[in-house]
């Protein structure tokens, strides 16, 4: 694929994901997507044979992006607070731009892609739990084995902060991750560690605001 073709494909995914995250998948048509990008339907179909392929590519790229960001942050993390941030900051970043309608449409109209999300999410949680094992020496976790803490995080994520459950109980992905973070994650820390976490999150939020000054 040429550089120009790569650029066109990137534009397609960027525009499609921006729309689908905000309004859901069902409302976007291939004709409307081509018109929005300013390309012909023939060019669009030369890159993707249908909307399912577009959706699949968006999901694959999103999963890859989260995993990459988590791995990068975990590699740099030296404290329990930084390790917890490494797991949840990438999730929160994606959840903040994704409406629950995206998950509802994905589960209803693209069950094969939905299954891919669930399988990848579970594999990722297992990887994160293995990475954290033996490294979570917070004041709270000192009273429990790393295996117990890893199990707490995994089972909580797998039962509450899931696309299926957030859709069922009617909350947004952002609300689910935020609630999980402020109850389970912050609950693993003592007051000093919670203060450190809040400070680091505020700094991160300020940094993102300066990087995206026009973001509402």
Give dist(CA 93, CA 103) in Å, integer: 16
Look at residue 27 and give its three-state secondary structure.
Answer: coil
Residue 104 covered by a domain: yes
pLDDT tens for the chain, residues 1 to 216? 577 889 999 999 999 999 999 999 999 999 999 999 999 999 999 999 999 999 999 999 999 999 999 899 988 988 878 888 888 888 888 888 888 889 889 989 999 999 888 888 878 777 777 766 666 665 555 667 666 776 777 777 777 777 778 878 888 888 888 888 888 888 878 888 889 888 988 887 766 655 554 444
Give dist(CA 191, CA 93) in Å, integer: 25
Q: Which of 81, 48, 64 is nearest to 116 (CA)?
A: 64
Residue 22 covered by a domain: no
User: What's the predicted TM-score (pTM) here?
Assistant: 0.79
Q: What is the pLDDT of residue 208?
A: 61
Q: 99 is in which domain, residue-wise?
A: 51-211
Number of domains in the chain: 1
Residue 129 covered by a domain: yes
């Amino acid at each position: 694929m040429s550089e120009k073709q790569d650029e066109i494909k990137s534009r397609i995914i960027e525009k499609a994901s921006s729309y689908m995250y905000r309004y859901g998948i069902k409302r976007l048509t291939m004709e409307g997507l081509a018109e929005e990008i300013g390309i012909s339907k023939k060019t669009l179909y030369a890159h993707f044979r249908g909307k399912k392929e577009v959706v699949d590519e968006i999901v694959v790229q999103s999963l890859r992006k989260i995993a990459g960001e988590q791995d990068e942050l975990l590699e740099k993390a030296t404290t329990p607070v930084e390790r917890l941030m490494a797991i949840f900051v990438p999730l929160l970043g994606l959840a903040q731009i994704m409406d629950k309608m995206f998950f509802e449409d994905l589960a209803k109209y693209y069950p094969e892609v939905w299954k891919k999300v669930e399988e990848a999410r579970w594999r990722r949680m297992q990887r994160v739990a293995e990475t954290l094992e033996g490294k979570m020496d917070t004041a709270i976790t000192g009273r429990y084995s790393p295996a117990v803490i890893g199990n707490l995080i995994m089972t909580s994520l797998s039962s509450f902060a899931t696309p299926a459950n957030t859709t069922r109980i009617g909350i947004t992905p952002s609300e689910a991750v935020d609630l999980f973070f402020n109850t389970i994650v912050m609950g693993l820390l003592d007051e000093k560690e919670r203060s450190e976490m809040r400070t680091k999150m505020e700094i991160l939020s300020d940094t993102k605001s300066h990087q995206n000054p026009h973001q509402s």
